[in-house]
Amino acid sequence: MHAQADEVTRDKVLAAADRLYYSRGIQAVGMDALRVEAGVSLKRLYQLFPSKESIVEEVLQRRRRLWNGMVEAAVETGETPRAKLLAVYDMLARWFDEDDFRGCVFINTFGELGANAPRVADLVREHKAQFQARLAELVADAGGPTSLASQLAILAEGAQTTAAIAGTSDAAVHARTAAATLIDAALAGTGGAGGEAGSLV
């Protein structure tokens, strides 16, 4: 029962940390502000988490699971390999239109802490590499070259940063258009699954 109570409190703290860090930035949120937002004592907070960095790491792990779920849900809507790839950009457009969108939490965190928090930097790099690897699987299914996955990942990453600065979802639309051009050119060049790329909406 005690372990279950700990888990509930940990989840409450992590949800509060996620909200505060994402909306205000990590360095702007002290442990006292987090304690108030989560409704726990400072002593309890430190019993559950040895440091602020450990909280940041767990928030990133939660965000990674959320991101992976969003990507997979989008991919499942596509009926062809090409459509699955482009669905990722449709997902980005929906995300960018959410009221609380503040950019990619991984990019934001790396910008704030990357130089001084090696474990956090590693988590961010891992997450980005995992996303690119997933795109590589989809590209392989479409019969495209491995270099295409890197190009598509850069478009997605750039769209996230641009949307956060611009405050609109236009970047996702432009990224999707560019992605379609890259995919069609790459698949036409392989002569594989791309021979009919133009019809694979």
Model confidence at 191, pLDDT cuts 50, 70, 90, reads: low
12 phi and psi angles, rounded to 5 deg: -65, -45
By residue count, the chain amounts to: 201
The model's pLDDT over 27-51, given as tens digits with 9 standing for 90+, comes to 999 999 999 999 999 999 999 999 9
Average pLDDT over residues 158-182: 97
Asked if residue 168 lies in contact with residue 158, where contact means CB atoms within 8 angstroms, the answer is no
In this structure, which topology does domain 1-49 adopt according to CATH?
Answer: Arc Repressor Mutant, subunit A (1.10.10)
C-alpha angle 124/21/73, rounded to 5°?
Answer: 60
One-letter amino acid for residue 149 of the chain: A
The model's pLDDT over 52-100, given as tens digits with 9 standing for 90+, comes to 999 999 999 999 999 999 999 999 999 999 999 999 999 999 999 999 9
pLDDT at res. 44: 94
Rounded to whole angstroms, how far apart are CA atoms 189 and 107? 33
Query: Can you give the residue ranges of every domain in the chain?
Result: 1-49, 61-191
107 phi and psi angles, rounded to 5 deg: -65, -45
Instruction: Look at residue 201 and tell me whether its pLDDT is greater than 60.
Output: no
Instruction: Look at residue 19 and tell me whether its pLDDT is greater than 60.
Output: yes
Rounded to whole angstroms, how far apart are CA atoms 136 and 152? 9
Instruction: Look at residue 23 and tell me whether its pLDDT is greater than 50.
Output: yes
One-letter amino acid for residue 64 of the chain: R
Pick the CATH number of 61-191 from 1.10.1240.10, 3.40.50.300, 1.10.10.10, 1.10.357.10: 1.10.357.10
Instruction: Look at residue 2 and tell me whether its pLDDT is greater than 70.
Output: no
CB atoms within 10 A of CB 117: 19
- Report the SS3 class of residue 51: coil
